[in-house]
Amino acid sequence: MGECIFCKIIKGEAPAMKIYEDEYTMAFMDIAKDVDGHLLVIPKKHFTNILDCNDEYLINLMRTVKRISNHLVDDCGYEGVNLLNASDESAGQSVFHFHIHVIPRKLGDNIKAWPNFGGAETPTEDIFKRISML
C-alpha cells in the first residue's frame, strides 16, 4: 500500500484536483484527459476493489457517487452519467485501490463508454443455473 497512488492522494502526498471529500470518501478529477469531466470516487481506506471492500465503506462510497452524479446533472449542465468499475486484473483493473469512474454525459456527446461485447458463448440458461443464488 505504500506505493498506492490513491493512498498518497488521500494522505496529501500526491496532488489531486479534489472536488469532494468526507470522512469516508474522496472524489477528484481523473488525469487521463480522455473525457471532459471524468471523475474518480474512492474510499479513504485502502481496499483493492469491491471484492474486499467492507459494507460501511461501500455504502458511503455509493452515497458519494450518487451525490456527485446528482450534482453533475442538477448543477453542472450534464444530462446523465456513466459509472464504471473494474474489479480485478481479469476485469481490466489497473490501479489496485477500489474506485468508481464517473463520466458526465450529454445527448450527442459521442462518448462510447459502454463496452462492445463480442457475444455470449454459453447459453444463458446454463450460466443462470451455475450462478443463481436462490
Answer yes or no: is pLDDT of 2 > 60. Answer: no
pLDDT at 115: 87
List CB contacts of 35: < 8 A, sequence separation 6 or more: 103, 111, 113
Taking only the tens place, the pLDDT of each residue in 6-19 is 999 999 999 999 99
The position carrying cell 474489479 is 87
132 burial via Cβ count (<10 Å: 0-12, 13-18, 19+) = exposed
Q: Please say if 71 is a catalytic residue.
A: no
Check whether 1 has a pLDDT greater than 80.
no
Predicted confidence (pLDDT) per residue in 88-113, tens digit: 999 999 999 999 999 999 999 999 98
Q: Is the pLDDT of residue 114 over 90?
A: no
Q: Helix %, strand %, coil % for the chain, to 5?
A: 30, 20, 50
Task: Give the Cβ contact number of residue 95 at 10 Å.
Answer: 13
Instruction: State pTM to two decimals.
Output: 0.93
Catalytic pick from 38, 97, 99, 101? Answer: 99
C-alpha grid cell, residue 129: 443455473
Q: What is the pLDDT of residues 34-47, one digit of tens each?
A: 999 999 999 999 99
Q: How many contiguous H segments (helices) and E segments (strands) does the chain have?
A: 3, 5
